[in-house]
Structure 1
Amino acid sequence: MTTINEFTDALNSKSSAASILLVEDDASLAEWIQQYLQGHEYQLRHLTRGDLVIAEVQQHKPDLIILDVMLPGKNGFDICRELRAFYNGPILMLTALNEETDEVLGLELGANDYLNKPVRPRVLLARIKALLRREPQEQQQEQPEGHLQFGQLKILRDAKTVFYREQLIPLTANEFDVLWLLASSAGQVISRDQLVIQLRGFEYDGFDRSIDIRVSRLRKKLLDNAEQPYRIKTVWARGYLFSPEAWD
């Protein structure tokens, strides 16, 4: 007869085995990723074609997607754009491309993280853990106020929506998260390390430029001065500062 402790342990074990969809057409790479992640108790499904992804996600609803960019049938950028119409889970993009513009595009389309090939197993595992750890925290996190307002800038957290001068400012989820963290500490310097830890779940390694990219895109969309920003300021050697007085 199963004891209550055994039953509880079984439930916890089942719930902790996150499901991952791997979309990768490189057979050898896909094989070691599957073996490595299954060895760490993740459930893996694997696709080699991009045009099969949307239906797969709609049917099986994975907890996380590892998405290659260069795929037969449909490329990863187009897939990411389509997924964000209905899928709220984390997307980790893998690519052999090593261009900053590709990283920017992936993040703008809604990817949560981006790794260049060749992929190091421990780095991949750390990124996956960070993404899966952050998702439930974001869903459970409660704010004492559902919105922030600075002059004519309104930030609605629950709807992840921003208005400036009564105009809707289209932001990606990643851009909104950066803005919310900065605006929540308006007038205070927030270091890049703090932003990386809070948004991505691991310490800044000195090379990750995803936060800088998001801040740059925010400045452009919020009509900040690119050469001498005064709304989201860069404080040299310290971090970023959201100016609460610059939104008239």
Structure 2
Amino acid sequence: MSSILIIEDDNSIGDMMSIYLMEDGYTVKRASDGQSGLRLFKEFEPDLIVLDIMLPDSDGMKLCADIRSLSSLPILMVSAKNDVSDRVKALLIGADDYLCKPFSMRELSARIQALLRRSQIVKAKSAPVTREAPPSIHVDTDKRCLYVNHTPVETTFSEFELIKLLWLHEGKVFSREELLNRIRGIDSFVTERAIDVHIANLRKKIEVDPKDPKYIKTVWGVGYKFVLAAE
């Protein structure tokens, strides 16, 4: 569950927020002044901060700006000040939301959930995209075996003949008719349509994504080719 830091000098409000949010399942830490709040922020590394504007030792607005310069975590400011100018200033210096006192605990919880949800979406979009490494493909013509990542992969007789031909002539484009002639007589039921079926089955066995093949490429209007170094 997410962790929340509350920086609030009013003990009754601070205790009420802490208890309510803990009951909601959050891990909660609380500070009653700006200095201890900044210390807890660095030690605790919360997922969200609830920050009061009026603090005994510092200006909540400045503290918000200081925290924002160090982190992009969501900041929800709370205050008895409900002037539009105060709300606008808080948002401009880096707050993500502003809640005027008095407020209900249900509304506080709902706003926190919304901010955390938005934060997770942003993190997901900014996270680096990891791609699965392409497999290593090898054809042992003597043993009549296809290896994917050094692991033998079972093939039919016709499938092996096709992958062997393509693998031995990397980059060469073969028409369906040429591939058909290669295995004609081995597979008495082979047709040009059967070639497509064999190719589809081979892709399932060697490609990371058979629908986006990197090794057995379709050359539209002609046939197929094999690219050993996946493009």
Secondary structure of 2:90's counterpart equals helix
Secondary structure of 1:32's counterpart equals helix
Are 1:136 and 2:159 an aligned pair?
no
Shift of 1:53: 2.2
2:222 alignment counterpart: none
Q: What's the Cα RMSD here?
A: 1.4
1:88 alignment counterpart: 72
1:55 alignment counterpart: 39
Deviations along 1:31-55, one digit per CA (max 9) or x if unpaired, are 1111111111011101001122222
- TM-score of the pair, normalised by structure 2: 0.53
For residues 84 and 33 of structure 1, the distance between their equivalents in structure 2, rounded to whole angstroms, comes to 22
2:210 alignment counterpart: none
Q: Which runs of 5+ in 2 are unaligned?
A: 127-231
Letter in 2 for 1:120: S
Are 1:39 and 2:23 an aligned pair?
yes
For residues 15 and 73 of structure 2, the distance between their equivalents in structure 1, rounded to whole angstroms, comes to 23
Deviations along 1:117-152, one digit per CA (max 9) or x if unpaired, are 00111111110000011111012226xxxxxxxxxx
For residues 26 and 61 of structure 2, the distance between their equivalents in structure 1, rounded to whole angstroms, comes to 25
Letter in 1 for 2:47: D
For residues 110 and 66 of structure 2, the distance between their equivalents in structure 1, rounded to whole angstroms, comes to 26
Deviations along 1:2-35, one digit per CA (max 9) or x if unpaired, are xxxxxxxxxxxxxxx1110001111111111111
Shift of 1:84: 1.1
Pairs aligned (count): 127
2:229 alignment counterpart: none
For residues 26 and 64 of structure 1, the distance between their equivalents in structure 2, rounded to whole angstroms, comes to 19
1:119 alignment counterpart: 103
Q: 28, 46, 56: which one pairs with 2:12?
A: 28
For residues 85 and 118 of structure 2, the distance between their equivalents in structure 1, rounded to whole angstroms, comes to 26
% identical equivalent positions: 39
For residues 54 and 40 of structure 1, the distance between their equivalents in structure 2, rounded to whole angstroms, comes to 24
For residues 75 and 60 of structure 2, the distance between their equivalents in structure 1, rounded to whole angstroms, comes to 11
- Conserved 8 A contact 1:53-1:79: no
1:220 alignment counterpart: none
- Conserved 8 A contact 2:30-2:37: no
Q: Which runs of 5+ in 1 are unaligned?
A: 1-16, 143-248
Deviations along 1:198-220, one digit per CA (max 9) or x if unpaired, are xxxxxxxxxxxxxxxxxxxxxxx
Are 1:68 and 2:52 an aligned pair?
yes
Letter in 2 for 1:72: P
- TM-score of the pair, normalised by structure 1: 0.50
For residues 59 and 24 of structure 1, the distance between their equivalents in structure 2, rounded to whole angstroms, comes to 18
Matches within 5 A, 1:1-248: 17-141=1-125
Secondary structure of 1:57's counterpart equals helix
Secondary structure of 1:141's counterpart equals helix
For residues 114 and 56 of structure 2, the distance between their equivalents in structure 1, rounded to whole angstroms, comes to 29
